[in-house]
């Protein structure tokens, strides 16, 4: 069992704060030229004056079932750490390290095996996106040192994210299978699966992780508005991946140019039709949430409607008459190919709904509700909404709920999904998001 955070010996020494400050400054200085595979080695050397004798980084695999340690780089030996090990995998659902990851709380236990000190597990996060855990072998678990371990983990998370775009090191660690080409394309476009501020929370799940082809999601906060979208391209092959990527790229391009929702729909429709000549299409929900007023606006493009959850029950499906899927034209004007402006024409209708504080919106693809069990029973909308509500009522944070939902969807179909299954959960004015989403509070 993990030792309660409030107990444990406390550190002394007037220069400890100065040593901690020096360690952080040294790590920041080295971060510019840091090799991605040398993060453990550099951290271990910098924090040794704080009584930390081992540093290990564990990253969650893509499906968030295991925590995978970084391998020891070739030629680095023990990385300057006592008792450094090779690659190790920890099950998220049944280990103390996994508990720290699931709950985003610091956990620690006696070092064991005759060793002195404590093994501390600190969540690694990028904002509110859970990356993994930082394992430290320490001599002091007083509150002051726990705060310093949090700071070290925050810096480690930032450095991992900053370096991940320049190397395959972390991507390799996070993968437990070979990724299909279309999935590689899709994941390269996607934003993180968790994002939160004091006014909005977004949590996403996508399965099958290694063979995803036609599903995609996107979101962006600009001022007082959250843009969020979900896409489901026809097919499950490389063409489907290309189709979804064109949809995401077109929507981003229009949005970043200050375009309205109807303009986003129109240009995406033309971009897809111009490249795929009406033989392929993408269903989509293109949405905007005013974070100040709670006004939710959306355009349904042949896609299942959003689901509105208030408190512990589903209020309604936000079902409205949809426009045709992107790429089929319909009421959208044609003519924009290779950046040329389209002719004026009819625009897609924008629907609105006023939210209340704490309301949740569920966007999903039909691969979720239409996935079937061994006896042919579909997963269904009721099962989906009940899962979200039950876990929320149990106090489980939204990102952890989505992780468990991902596994439930896969297990319901015996691990053999016939279609991509994507879910985007949006909560307006969440209750104390820092309590459940960051490691700042034990």
| Range scoring the smallest mean pLDDT among 44-48, 69-73, 187-191 | 69-73
- Identify the DSSP state of 394: T
**Does the pLDDT of residue 78 top 60, yes or no?**
no
Confidence at residue 357, expressed as pLDDT on a 0 to 100 scale? 96
If you average pLDDT over every residue of the chain, what do you get?
A: 89
Q: Which of 27, 112, 44 is nearest to 78 (CA)?
A: 44
The pLDDT > 70 percentage for the chain reads 88
340 phi/psi in degrees, rounded to 5: -75, 145
- Given this model, what pLDDT does residue 222 score? 95
Residue 440 pLDDT level (bands cut at 50, 70, 90): low
pLDDT score for 2: 52
pLDDT at 74: 60
| pLDDT recorded at residue 164 | 95
Cis peptide upstream of residue 208 (ω within 30 degrees of 0): yes
Helix residue spans in 119-168 (DSSP H): 143-164
pLDDT at residue 131 is higher than 80: yes
Q: Residues with Cβ < 8 Å from 246, sequence gap 6 or more?
A: 268, 271, 272, 275
The residue with tokens 């996403």 is 204
Predicted confidence at residue 346, as pLDDT, reads: 64
Residue 156 to residue 169: CA distance in whole angstroms = 15
pLDDT score of 287: 98
The pLDDT, as a whole number, for residue 86 is: 64
Residue 77 has pLDDT above 60, yes or no: no
Q: What is the mean pLDDT of residues 153-162?
A: 96
Domain 181-437 matching CATH 3.20.20.30: the answer reads no
pLDDT tens, residue by residue, 177-234: 999 999 999 999 999 999 999 999 999 999 999 998 899 999 999 999 999 999 999 9
Predicted local distance difference test score (pLDDT) of residue 112: 77
Question: Residue 340 pLDDT more than 50?
Answer: no
Residue 73 pLDDT > 80: no
135 — pLDDT class (breaks 50, 70, 90): very high
Q: Is the pLDDT of residue 3 over 60?
A: no
The CATH superfamily label for domain 16-174 reads GAF domain (3.30.450.40)
- Cα–Cα distances (Å) from 111 to 91, 116, 138, in that order, read 19, 6, 8
pLDDT(441) > 50: no
Tell me how far apart the alpha carbons of residues 323 and 342 are, in angstroms, rounded to a whole number: 18
List pLDDT tens digits, range 251-310.
Answer: 999 999 999 999 999 999 999 998 887 678 999 999 999 999 999 999 999 999 999 999
* pTM, two decimal places: 0.90
Please state the domain extents for the chain.
16-174, 181-437
- The confidence score (pLDDT) of residue 293 equals 97
Six-digit token pair at 128?
């509110």
């Amino acid at each position: 069992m993990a030792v309660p955070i409030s107990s444990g010996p406390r550190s002394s020494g007037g220069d400890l704060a100065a040593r901690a400050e020096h360690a952080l400054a040294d790590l920041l200085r080295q971060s510019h030229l840091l090799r991605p595979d040398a993060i453990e080695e550099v951290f271990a050397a910098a924090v040794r004056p704080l009584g930390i004798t081992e540093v290990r980084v564990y990253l969650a695999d893509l499906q968030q079932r295991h925590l995978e340690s970084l391998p020891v780089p070739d030629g680095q030996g023990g990385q300057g750490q006592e008792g450094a090990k090779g690659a190790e995998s920890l099950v998220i659902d049944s280990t103390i390290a996994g508990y720290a990851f699931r709950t985003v709380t610091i956990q620690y236990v006696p070092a064991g095996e005759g060793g002195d000190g404590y093994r501390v597990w600190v969540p690694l996060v990028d904002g509110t996106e859970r990356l993994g855990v930082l394992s430290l072998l320490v001599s002091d678990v007083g509150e002051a040192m726990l705060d310093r371990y949090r700071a070290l983990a925050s810096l480690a998370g930032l450095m991992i994210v900053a370096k991940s775009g320049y190397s395959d090191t972390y991507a390799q660690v996070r993968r437990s299978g070979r990724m299909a080409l279309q999935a590689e394309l899709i994941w390269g476009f996607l934003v993180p699966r968790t994002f939160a501020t004091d006014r909005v929370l977004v949590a996403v799940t996508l399965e099958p992780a290694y063979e995803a082809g036609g599903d995609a999601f996107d979101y962006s906060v600009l001022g007082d508005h959250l843009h969020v979208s979900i896409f489901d391209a026809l097919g499950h092959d490389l063409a489907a991946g290309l189709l979804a990527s064109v949809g995401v790229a077109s929507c981003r391009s229009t949005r970043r140019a200050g375009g309205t929702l109807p303009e986003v729909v129109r240009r995406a429709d033309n971009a897809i039709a111009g490249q795929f000549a009406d033989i392929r299409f993408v269903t989509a929900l293109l949405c905007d949430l005013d974070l100040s007023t709670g006004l939710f606006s959306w355009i349904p493009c042949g896609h299942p409607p959003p689901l509105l959850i208030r408190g512990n029950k589903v209020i309604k499906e936000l079902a409205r008459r949809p426009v045709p899927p992107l790429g089929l034209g319909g009421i959208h004007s044609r003519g924009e190919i290779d950046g040329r402006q389209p002719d004026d024409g009819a625009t897609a209708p924008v629907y609105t709904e006023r939210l209340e504080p704490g309301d949740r919106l569920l966007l999903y693809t039909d691969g979720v509700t239409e996935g079937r069990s061994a006896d042919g029973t579909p997963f269904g909308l009721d099962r989906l909404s009940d899962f979200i509500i039950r876990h929320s009522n149990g106090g489980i944070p939204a990102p952890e709920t989505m992780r468990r939902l991902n596994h439930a969807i896969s297990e319901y179909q015996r691990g053999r999904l016939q279609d991509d299954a994507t879910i985007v959960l949006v909560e307006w004015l969440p209750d104390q998001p820092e309590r459940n989403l960051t490691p700042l509070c034990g």
